[in-house]
């Protein structure tokens, strides 16, 4: 019961219905039970936040990854812009807009 209450139910009532039906079909005992894996949270399928918020967060993760690899360098042959396939004049404003401190990667 605690698992049911703790789970976020991203599929809402339909997901709850599917889990209950699956359990009834597969259960070989008289006691209702579910497989814990059916309620496993997949971090790549977040359900919180708007689409725009999720896109911005993903963009920030990608830029931070490139800055980490390039040790904070934005332009040049080993810079983050080159790694991302962007002009540095495009990446610099995105770094600023996303409030990323590129100096922390040096």
pLDDT tens-digit readout, 59-96: 989 999 999 999 999 999 999 999 999 999 999 999 99
Angle between helices 88-97 and 51-69 (to 10 degrees): 120
Within this chain, do residues 23 and 64 fall inside the same structural domain, yes or no?
Answer: no
The better pLDDT of the pair 71, 48 is held by 71
Within this chain, do residues 100 and 75 fall inside the same structural domain, yes or no?
Answer: yes
CA distance 89 to 31: 63
pTM: predicted TM-score of the whole model, two decimal places: 0.55
Q: Could you tell me the pLDDT band of residue 47, with boundaries at 50, 70 and 90?
A: low
Within this chain, do residues 29 and 65 fall inside the same structural domain, yes or no?
Answer: no
What's the number of domains the chain is made of?
A: 2
Domain holding 76, by residue range, is 51-105
Q: Is the pLDDT of residue 43 over 80?
A: no
Within this chain, do residues 64 and 87 fall inside the same structural domain, yes or no?
Answer: yes
Residue 51's alpha-carbon distances to 11, 29, 54, 58, in angstroms, are 16, 42, 5, 11
Q: In this structure, what token pair is assigned to residue 4?
A: 């049911």
Q: Which of 7-16, 38-47, 54-63, 72-81 has the highest mean pLDDT?
A: 72-81
Within this chain, do residues 87 and 61 fall inside the same structural domain, yes or no?
Answer: yes
Within this chain, do residues 55 and 101 fall inside the same structural domain, yes or no?
Answer: yes
Are residues 7 and 39 in contact, defined by beta-carbon separation less than 8 angstroms? Answer: yes
């Amino acid at each position: 019961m605690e698992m049911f209450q703790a789970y976020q139910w991203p599929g809402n009532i339909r997901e709850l219905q599917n889990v209950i039906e699956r359990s009834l079909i597969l259960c070989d005992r008289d006691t209702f039970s579910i497989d814990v894996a059916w309620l496993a949270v997949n971090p790549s399928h977040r359900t919180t936040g708007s689409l725009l918020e999720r896109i911005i967060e993903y963009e920030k993760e990608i830029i931070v990854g490139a800055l980490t690899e390039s040790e904070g360098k934005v332009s040049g042959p080993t810079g983050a812009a080159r790694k991302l396939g962007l002009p540095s004049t495009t990446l610099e404003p995105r770094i600023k807009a996303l409030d990323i401190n590129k100096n922390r990667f040096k």
